[in-house]
Structure 1
Amino acid sequence: MGAVSEEPVKAAFEPLLQFEMDMRTFLSDWQHCDQLSTFVARMISHNRTDPIRHSNFFSFALNELLEVSFRGGAPEGRIYCTAYRLDSTERLKLSFTCLPGQEEFYREAVSKTHGEDAVARYLGAISTELAPDREVVLLDLAINFDADVRLESCTPDSITFVVDLPLEGTIS
């Protein structure tokens, strides 16, 4: 008879909702960022402790991530987004076609969200009067939402972000 494993089974993130859209259509109107984030947030927040608060925070975070794809996306291909949940954490997985050479920019921007100087970089960036760039948006998610931002995969023409947001009970 075989040995019984003593290791606990790790729970997996469960998919809640996903959408995909033609990238050219997505990029045709800035309002798509807000419309999609509001819809997804309302759909997945109904069973949280404070659904309105959760929806507002989730919508803001997703909108910021969609804006990253809006500013750096290429009109070819598709944009894919899936929302997952594991206990008190929401996971966003966003894949989109990007302009040639963007992979290195995104790798550096994501690594800066984990750096010791992330807060200082963020505060310095938001103190200017310039519109926030994609790096600042990723720093905003990491600092203000305690999000874990990472890249899951990259190809020369596409990128996949994975963002874990511990929204339930951590933001007051």
Structure 2
Amino acid sequence: MEEEASRFDDHAFVPMVSLEMNVEMFKSQWQFCDEITEYLSDILGQSHSDPARYSNFLSVAANELIELAFRATNERGKIRFSLSRNATFNRLRIAFPCDEEFRRKHIKIGSSEIEPGLGNGSGHLVATPDEALLSNLATILGASVRIERDGEDGIEIIADFPSAEDFQ
């Protein structure tokens, strides 16, 4: 239970890598989504008994989150990606500027966290494709996904993926 309470506490995580890009450069080529995904998922696969399997499986989720950021970000500012890890979770953070409408749609008081197993059976209507995507990632991968405000004009997607290799 204590682990649950600290899942979004960065002090419990050790930084692995961070990457920052100009948004205009990031949005100049769709292929950056794949290249960043490959880079980050290779790092996530390190120290697993089957690094390729773990990297490949998590690259699907990382790619979906990076593509969401690609579609949502506006043309100004910086986009930041970071990975950190603790004994039971790997954390991916993606912070980027976006317009007020996107931020308002995705940050709702009391409902910005999507836990594994929630979604259609939770009693909450999944209203947007992005919410369905996040809910499905949480369910399939056993991940916790949260979206928070990041400064005046941005959001941050925080996804905690289990370090265990027994995906179902």
TM range (shorter): 0.7 to 0.9
Residues 78 and 96, structure 1, Cα contact 8 Å, conserved in 2: yes
Cα distance in structure 2, aligned partners of 1:116 and 1:58:
18
Which residue is equivalent to 1:33?
A: 33
Task: Label 1:100 to 1:107 Cα distance change in 2 as closer, same or farther (>3 A).
Answer: closer
Which residue is equivalent to 1:129?
A: none
- Where does structure 1 lack aligned partners over 5 or more consecutive residues? 1-9, 126-131
One-letter amino acid of the structure 2 residue matched with residue 150 of structure 1: R
The normalised TM-score by structure 1 is 0.77
Task: Label 1:45 to 1:118 Cα distance change in 2 as closer, same or farther (>3 A).
Answer: same
Q: Which structure 2 residues correspond to residues 1-172 of structure 1 after superposition, within 5 A?
A: 12-108=12-108, 111=112, 113-114=114-115, 118-119=119-120, 133-172=129-168
- Where does structure 2 lack aligned partners over 5 or more consecutive residues? 1-5
Residues 45 and 51, structure 1, Cα contact 8 Å, conserved in 2: yes
Secondary structure (helix, strand or coil) at the match of 2:107 reads helix
Secondary structure (helix, strand or coil) at the match of 1:101 reads helix
Residues 95 and 156, structure 2, Cα contact 8 Å, conserved in 1: yes
- The number of residues matched between the two structures is 155
Query: After superposition, what is the alpha-carbon deviation per residue over 1:106-161, rounded to whole angstroms, capped at 9, x for unaligned?
Result: 124x647359860459xx98xxxxxx932222122111111111134334410011
Secondary structure (helix, strand or coil) at the match of 1:87 reads coil
Cα distance in structure 2, aligned partners of 1:112 and 1:164:
11
The two structures, once aligned, show a CA RMSD in angstroms of 2.8
Aligned-pair identity (%)? 29
Cα distance in structure 2, aligned partners of 1:147 and 1:134:
16
Residues 24 and 76, structure 2, Cα contact 8 Å, conserved in 1: yes
Residues 101 and 156, structure 1, Cα contact 8 Å, conserved in 2: no
One-letter amino acid of the structure 2 residue matched with residue 118 of structure 1: G
Bigger Rg over Cα: 1
Task: Label 1:120 to 1:15 Cα distance change in 2 as closer, same or farther (>3 A).
Answer: same
Cα distance in structure 1, aligned partners of 2:113 and 2:19:
28
The normalised TM-score by structure 2 is 0.79
